[in-house]
Structure 1
Amino acid sequence: MTTLLIVDDHAVVRSGLRMLLDGRQGMTVVGEASEGNEAIRLAHELKPTVVLMDLSMPHGKDGLTAIAELKSSLPDLYVLVLTMHDDDEYLFRAIHAGASGYILKNSPHEELLTAIQTVAEGNAYLLPTATKRLMSDYVQRLRAGEQPDAYELLSEREKEVLEWMAKGYANKDIAEQLIISVKTVETHRSHVMEKLGLKTRPELIKYAVKKGLLQFD
């Protein structure tokens, strides 16, 4: 029996996936979560075989951070990313974080079922086009001697928040600059600090200077 935990911030998506998957080909949906923190808690509680993980969840912990934390604490857990992002950046970050598979939300139902079964058996599942892109990038990085950088785990919005934080702006000011809510800034700020392993603002400023994100005249 393959047990599934569905993680997506849209209730209608979770409901649709449950209807599609529950009882199909030996699969059982044991839980649903709307963001990363809830997903981590339920994964520890329910011990599913596979977690279907969305990446973009604005309220709470995002998918990439959740994947990394889940794989750290539950290394035998399989995570299949189910996302709308057909983008190399998200693909590379998800695999780097520990995902076993990556599939798009617009994929045929049969392909999703195959992806789940493949991942549940301990194998990796990527779309053929994604596999080609991933291998090409990997080979290029090896040839260039490039080492993995936690900065790559940040979303574009998180990188923006990081730069404003390093410049000394308060959450309210950052919210005004990026035209988002203060609460959203606080969420992004938390994700940035977690992903980069930073604890204090001085550490963040030092990191930003080292990365060349701050320029001084």
Structure 2
Amino acid sequence: MPVTVLLVDDEPLVRAGLRAVLEAQPGIEVVGEAADGAAVIPLVRQLRPDVVAMDVRMPLMDGIEATRAVLRTVPEPPKILVVTTFEDDEHVYEALRAGADGFLLKRARPAEIVHAVRLVAEGESLLFPASVRRLAARYGDGDRPARAVLERARLTEREAEVLRLMSRGLSNAEIAARLVVGAETVKSHVSAVLAKLGARDRTQAVIAAYESGFVEPG
């Protein structure tokens, strides 16, 4: 089955460029387009895309509100990949907080765009650790509820270690190599961390780690 994608951007040229890049790849199908976040929910319900590539800044409903709306109202929601011009945009951080699975720069190379879509479709989060650290340092707030969430989670020592490595952007395979354990063991630890934090995915767990002060963003 191909990975299906919904493109949401108020610039027709951006949508056309993303469509051209993605449809040139085997196993990826663009199933629809929208010019504003307000159109996302009905299209998601109709088309059931695997991934929504969503502009973060749009005139009627921006990508943050659209992300919140999709995750709040759509059963089994798609993965959401925020598309942005500037990686240090506060809107990007708010979108990640809202539940987006990662972000993609509009200036990214075609291979990077395809990789991002495939990665989030497979359930892996798309994180750029240096960028997330900068965003957390600039816009994060250690007084937010994330601090209480981490305290209540009562992570084991190994789970805490896995969360720190996740926050550095390491994949399961890289974490396994670092800890000298099997990949399935790491997968189990990651699942436990997500469950204890009530996190939808790795991105949300990492945001919580920075927000709470568990991992220093500097």
CA–CA separation in structure 1 for the residues paired with 2:89 and 2:132: 10
Aligned to 1:100: 101
Alignment root-mean-square deviation, CA = 2.1
For the 8 Å contact 2:90–2:135, the answer to whether it is kept is no
Aligned to 2:153: none
Q: Which amino acid counterpart does residue 64 of structure 2 have in structure 1? A: L
Aligned to 1:147: 145
SS in 1 for 2:145: coil
- State the shift of 1:38 in Å: 1.2
Structure 1 residues 110-129: aligned runs within 5 Å = 110-129=111-130
For the 8 Å contact 1:88–1:133, the answer to whether it is kept is no
Aligned to 1:68: 68
Aligned to 1:6: 7
Q: Percent identical across equivalent pairs?
A: 38
CA–CA separation in structure 1 for the residues paired with 2:37 and 2:84: 14
Structure 2 CA distance for partners of 1:135 and 1:55, relative to 1, 3 Å: closer
Per-residue displacement from partner, 1:145-195 (whole Å, max 9, x unpaired)?
A: 4337xxxxxxxxxxxxxxxxxxxxxxxxxxxxxxxxxxxxxxxxxxxxxxx
CA–CA separation in structure 2 for the residues paired with 1:5 and 1:12: 15
Q: Give the number of aligned pairs.
A: 144
For the 8 Å contact 2:51–2:117, the answer to whether it is kept is yes
SS in 1 for 2:6: strand
- TM-score (structure 1 length as normaliser): 0.60
CA–CA separation in structure 1 for the residues paired with 2:35 and 2:143: 39
Structure 1 residues 1-217: aligned runs within 5 Å = 1-58=2-59, 60-74=60-74, 75-133=76-134, 141=141, 144-147=142-145
For the 8 Å contact 2:8–2:52, the answer to whether it is kept is yes
For the 8 Å contact 2:21–2:114, the answer to whether it is kept is no
SS in 2 for 1:111: helix
- State the shift of 1:137 in Å: 7.0
- State the shift of 1:23 in Å: 4.4
SS in 2 for 1:96: helix
Per-residue displacement from partner, 1:10-30 (whole Å, max 9, x unpaired)?
A: 111111111111141310000
SS in 1 for 2:4: strand
CA–CA separation in structure 1 for the residues paired with 2:64 and 2:42: 16
CA–CA separation in structure 1 for the residues paired with 2:32 and 2:96: 24
For the 8 Å contact 2:7–2:30, the answer to whether it is kept is yes
CA–CA separation in structure 1 for the residues paired with 2:116 and 2:69: 22
**Tell me, which stretches of 5 or more residues in structure 2 are unaligned?**
147-218
SS in 2 for 1:28: strand
CA–CA separation in structure 1 for the residues paired with 2:124 and 2:134: 18
- TM-score (structure 2 length as normaliser): 0.60
SS in 2 for 1:126: coil
CA–CA separation in structure 2 for the residues paired with 1:136 and 1:87: 11
